[in-house]
Chains A and B, each alone.
Chain A
Amino acid sequence: MSIFEYNGSALVAMVGKNCFAIASDRRLGVQLQTVATDFRRIYRIHDKVYIGLSGLATDAQTLYQRLVFRHKLYQLREERDMKPETFASLVSAILYEKRFGPYFCQPVIAGLGGDDQPFICTMDCLGAKELAKDFVVSGSASESLYGACESMYKPDMEPEELFENISQALLASVDRDCLSGWGGHVFLVTPTEVQERTLKGRMD
């Protein structure tokens, strides 16, 4: 098993109508052994930008701490929050800084940009950005997630329907992966509110 599958993870972000949803599993493992079932992979940068970090958990935590630092510095200097596109470029630059000794993480960034248009993107561990209009996935369950999202996604979904779809896609995919699952976390973000929900999944 590769270093990216050492802790196990599943992340997905989907775009809806003027909203987005980002979801992750809750397992933290050490190869096959499950160590925690309440591990957070999705972090809030500010009300309209969320980042999920899959891959090695220690690198995910360190990377998140560095990004929070850089964003707070930005807020002090610019006296405003970062746009998601800008934040994605920041993450990409920070990852490429470590080109010859990378962070073993694959981030998924989701946010509401100018005019509250949803923005999602993912990157590999070296910072190669991949913008998408529909959904992005990452983690040890990524192949299953691609299949599930491809079949369940529809454009311009309302928030409730988006939540249903992303939850079903996540739970179906992690049920085919030994290393992720044990519940789910979904953040549903619209211009006016953020809903955080926990999913009840198979605990095996």
Chain B
Amino acid sequence: MKLDASGLQSFAPHRADPDNLYPDLSAPPSFDLPGCPDFDGFQKKAIQTVKPAKGTTTLAFIFNEGVIVAADSRASMGGYISSQTVKKIIEINPYMIGTMAGAAADCQFWHRNLGIKCRLHELANKRRISVTGASKLLANILYSYRGMGLSVGTMIAGWDETGPALYYVDSEGGRLKGKRFSVGSGSPYAYGVLDSGYRSDLSIEEAAELARRAIYHATFRDGASGGVASVYHVGPNGWKKLSGDDVGELHYKYYPVVPAIVEHEMADAPPA
């Protein structure tokens, strides 16, 4: 039994393949369904197993010099930290990047799938796809899998002919255009820092510092965020990774422990 994915079918002309040497090339991607007696019950259990609370912090904002994209690098399974070195900023093509929040496998697979589709568009139309178009492709795919338990909360950031662009796309099928987004369990903390420090006329270094601080504050307060704060910048010539700082060290940089200069001190014994 195969899942009906005809919504994903492209309308490109079918290439001449009379001997059927490449049957899978133009077939729409499809996934085998498990052959079990209670499919709905199994699906419910599978969704519960995969459904993490999007334990992460990612953010992106547009300013005069382009788009800044930043994320932490922790992967957690409930209370256990499974990795502190996950790449959550995925490079779709040299001028577009996406962030990963939710199930890692879902984000990695569908971002790569989006990269493939963007390249096919370039080849078929002899021009780069716009960020609007790319985000719409992803949103339509995710909408067609709505309710099946995919967990994806991503931001697509890029620079196309209209200038810098930023879209938020999620696995419920939502797609929003905006200037400032933060996604994940640490996003409330990141928003606090981001919203209070944001100005559209920031320089690239100031904007990167704002993003780094926002991620750092989120990792401090949120248990499911941590590791390394990566900051990327998307400009007219494409994206560039600006920094990747360990948040453990960022803490002591932002709040250095100042030794108290005390000659003699009378103090009560510490409480038991």
Report A's interface with B, CB cutoff 8 A: 1, 5, 8, 29, 31-34, 43-45, 68, 140, 175-179, 196, 200-204
Contacts and interface: CB of A to CB of B under 8 A. Distances in A.
B272 A34 contact: no
B221 interface: yes
B79 A33 contact: no
B244 interface: no
Rank and list the top 9 A-B pairs by shortest CB-CB distance, nearest first: A204-B226, A202-B248, A178-B223, A204-B219, A44-B272, A203-B251, A32-B223, A204-B247, A176-B81
B272 A178 contact: no
Give the interface residue-count category, chain B: 20 to 34
Interface string B226-257: 11000000000000000000011001100001
Residue among A8, A43, A176, A203 with max Cβ neighbours from chain B (10 Å): A203
B79 A179 contact: yes
B238 to A, nearest CB: 30
Contacts of B78: 1
Given A32-B223, A178-B74, 14 more contacts: A1-B79, A8-B223, A34-B220, A34-B222, A43-B272, A176-B80, A178-B80, A179-B223, A203-B220, A204-B72, A204-B225, A204-B226, A204-B227, A204-B248
Nearest to A46: B272
A167 B251 CA distance: 20
Given A178-B55, A178-B76, A179-B79, A196 B270 contact: yes
Interface in B80-135: 80-81, 84
B224 interface: yes
Contacts of A34: 220-223
Contacts of B225: 204
